[in-house]
Structure 1
């Protein structure tokens, strides 16, 4: 879609929202690639309800699932320009502004939600967030929105990195993701998430890597045979908005947004934890093979990614946080 057309559609959507929330003093439109059935989307609904209740409707939150407002990168640019928008985004996409965020998407950086939460609620992370405000004009509301560990989805069995030779694997285009998939043995192929199903169906790509809720929501069990549980990336995301817009809010509202984002992120992440077995059972019932493997060869193969991308020292800091 041409940029001018995307901009026009974006403006039209926001105009509709503005017309519907005239009673509110401020409106925040949140864009996410997630579908409404995703546990994290349920958390966004909780966030919306809590913010609107605590501000007596003076701050309205509008949710746009399935990337209705456009790509994450486009929304980040809108936020930089001061638009009242936010996006649920991973650290890899923020690393172009502040490099440290990229380590959140590095391979095997932490296990499960409890491990990664220690990092994204730490003073170390707050320092990165402050750097982000200065570098790009983005405000992190909270970064504790866990989407699960990412696994491989292919049409052939995978037990070790050598099995991925020549496999065109869809992954987001951020350097840390690309290097991780390359180190695992596959050929990283960046594509928008919305195009993955068709690309697999038409054999433009040979596989994808994703967390269970997203894989199920996108019906990838229809176009792949194997889900191999590598857990190579622990996908933590956050709600990121415009610092310029955020700073115009009364102090009370700024505090409410951050408090409720943290609460809803915890709720959504626990919901994700509770849903993983059921998502895998449903995919298995639809014919997909769920394969448990020894991930040691993948851990070893991806270990050099930290050094290659300049994260070796930061990795040590993050490991220390996780061990606490």
Structure 2
């Protein structure tokens, strides 16, 4: 999706610079770095610069994607295909390398690096980006987004485009918003009501909005990086966590906790950003390759995720996980007070988002 409005606002104030040169070959496969080689690859290219290939004056930009999930997560292959498409359509100008299990740093650190012009892509969501544009946290409100297609609808709405421009002013170029999965609780014990969660420690990311999500669910938030959540559950640091089926399975959380409670509290999104400065440094062809690929990705991924949710639920059931239905009414009622917890949100933004995604 072309960002003409954003680009025109920033071209006059942002110096054009070309960053990030691959330490490896600039031809062939463009996208993936195995987890075993991530650290050495990161170190060898930490002082990034641009270079021209022998056969072309076009400078290659290498972006490092700090993927929060392991390489066993299905999205790893989807991203590989997406980034290969960008590489090919940019004639090799834009190369995106995947670093699984977030070895490059925390989500907050990678977002900060991107905002300062580093050639990195954080694997993030609305709650983290709310540190830069507070209103984005609204889209993380439990039970607000009800259907996967509403995520893309929000991105391409007037509200979404306002957020995109606001992020650009903070040095961040919004690449897309796409469906991650429908999140439910996974616990080390069965429960039958929201009240049963009052004494349980539930793992979540270290952002105010994620803490609010756990409050809505009735639990006590325990902040842990996703790469450490299995250890937290195994050692009793947390009694449970929450995520989508593919993420739960690929992180082996079902080995530590055997009860999934179908709260379905978030139809969740992944939001990818890169440095606005790096984006502006690309040629028109490089920008178009990125825009076109990410413009199509949200609708493409919805069916992929939906198919996998049933698949992983069946796999976990076969491996001894018990699935429990629960009355969602108390959770939905608790979620109605979420806007009251965030006085920094713009007046009326919750209702604007609700209207933007309405079918």
Name the SS for the 1:37 alignment partner.
Answer: coil
Alignment counterpart, residue 151 of structure 1, candidates 184, 187, 192 = 184
Deviation at residue 254 of structure 1 after TM alignment: 1.2
Which structure 1 segments of 5+ residues have no match?
A: 1-7
User: 2 CA distance for matches of 1:17 and 1:291?
Assistant: 50
Deviations 1:9-55 (A, max 9, x none): 78515359989996762112111102233332222112211111111
Work out whether 1:308 is the aligned partner of 2:341: yes
Alignment partner, residue 223 of structure 2: 190
Alignment counterpart, residue 134 of structure 2, candidates 87, 99, 103 = 99
CA-based RMSD of the aligned residues comes to 2.3
Deviations 1:189-217 (A, max 9, x none): 11101111111111111111111111001
Deviations 1:281-316 (A, max 9, x none): 111111110122221111112211122213572121
Structure in which a larger fraction of residues adopt helix: 1
User: 1 CA distance for matches of 2:182 and 2:46?
Assistant: 37
Aligned partners of 1:172 and 1:190 also within 8 Å: yes
Aligned partners of 1:43 and 1:267 also within 8 Å: no
Aligned partners of 2:154 and 2:357 also within 8 Å: yes
Deviations 1:54-104 (A, max 9, x none): 111122121111112221111112112211111221010000110111112
Q: TM-score with structure 1 length normalisation?
A: 0.91
User: 2 CA distance for matches of 1:295 and 1:20?
Assistant: 55
Alignment partner, residue 11 of structure 2: none
User: 2 CA distance for matches of 1:255 and 1:97?
Assistant: 26
The alignment of Structure 1 onto Structure 2 pairs a total of residues equal to 315
Which structure 2 segments of 5+ residues have no match?
A: 1-38
User: 2 CA distance for matches of 1:291 and 1:317?
Assistant: 34
Alignment partner, residue 12 of structure 2: none
Name the SS for the 1:112 alignment partner.
Answer: coil
User: 2 CA distance for matches of 1:37 and 1:21?
Assistant: 34
Name the SS for the 2:231 alignment partner.
Answer: helix
Q: TM-score with structure 2 length normalisation?
A: 0.82
Work out whether 1:46 is the aligned partner of 2:77: no
Aligned partners of 2:69 and 2:227 also within 8 Å: no
Alignment counterpart, residue 325 of structure 2, candidates 279, 292, 297 = 292
Work out whether 1:142 is the aligned partner of 2:173: no
Alignment counterpart, residue 202 of structure 2, candidates 169, 182, 203 = 169
Deviation at residue 252 of structure 1 after TM alignment: 2.5
